[in-house]
Structure 1
Amino acid sequence: MNCIPLQLDCNLCAIVSNSGQMVGQKVGNEIDQSSCIWRMNNAPTKGYEEDVGRMTMIRVVSHTSVPLLLKNPDYFFKEANTTIYVIWGPFRNMRKDGNGIVYNMLKKTVDIYPNAQIYVTTEKRMSYCDGVFKKETGKDSLVPFIPLFAFSFPKVCFEANARHHIIFIHKYFSIYL
């Protein structure tokens, strides 16, 4: 895989939760008006368009959810799919020396689906997110079952360009401005 940084130009980001609390919210049209629509892991849109919208620009995927994407690779990675995937996880799973189990799965996926746009977080960015998480929660992000990006991802996204606006589509999501 090439090491090209992800660069986006978004005037309005919608970060959409994959929580069941989106059902019945009927904010799909509002979400689809955003220039960048971020979804988490393998959150479905099909069948829920009225509540969560139809479009997806970016999927932020935990290393533990990569196998869920690979259960339906044609849906997630087929040639017509323009979604950008940002995969995050601990260095031991993401390393590029042949020993990173998740990285190896992603490499095989790109070999099969050469048009798939898959980015992995760098060790430096993961360390930064771990620090933000610890600062905000007082807890180590390596403790099992704590969703790292539920706390630190919005801040990382917002730091990309201060002129951009971000809306969070989940009633429990924190806003960092």
Structure 2
Amino acid sequence: MSTFFGPPAIRRAVVAGIAAVALGAGGAALTGCGLIPKAAPSPSATGLPQAAESPSPSAGPGFPDVCKLFTNDEIGALTKATITDAKPDDKSTKDQPDCAWSSADGGAVTTIYLANKTKAKFDDESGGYQAVTGIGDGAYENHGILTVLHGTTEITVIFGGGGDDSIAVQKSIAQKVIDKLDNPSPSPSAS
């Protein structure tokens, strides 16, 4: 027989309580070390109401149809190319929409992706890449691809034109995306 005190029901309750405390402390330690993600406290857990986050004007889901943000002529003016087609790829979703504008020969000239991203996650992902200044709440260049954070929206711009002015062209496109997200207007007619 066990040298533990009391009837079996009490022993089970004590052991369960010790296990709960140990798991709670261990879970807190693992969470503090980053091994288990922290969950935000719920209003019922703290007993206090939580402050509502103010939505960013460009926060998704609810992103616009990226292909309708610009006409072919608008993208053509930004990229100095003749654009004949705009379409999303097969991986485009409502929560992560994209669009590729292509030229008459079918080559992609520009692609724009949108996604939700926190500042902390963006900063974590941008580590090791070339920082780009003068646009958004943060930006970096990764092998010729510009990624910009605006509020909680990550904007990725790929410009197939290349050359020394590639980042400048991508910055101008990303700034136009920011402008259109912040000041939505009726969708332009296709050209």
TM-score between both structures, scaled by the size of structure 1: 0.23
Which structure: larger Rg?
2
Q: Which has the higher strand share?
A: 2
TM-score between both structures, scaled by the size of structure 2: 0.22
Higher relative contact order (CA 8 A, sep 6+): 1
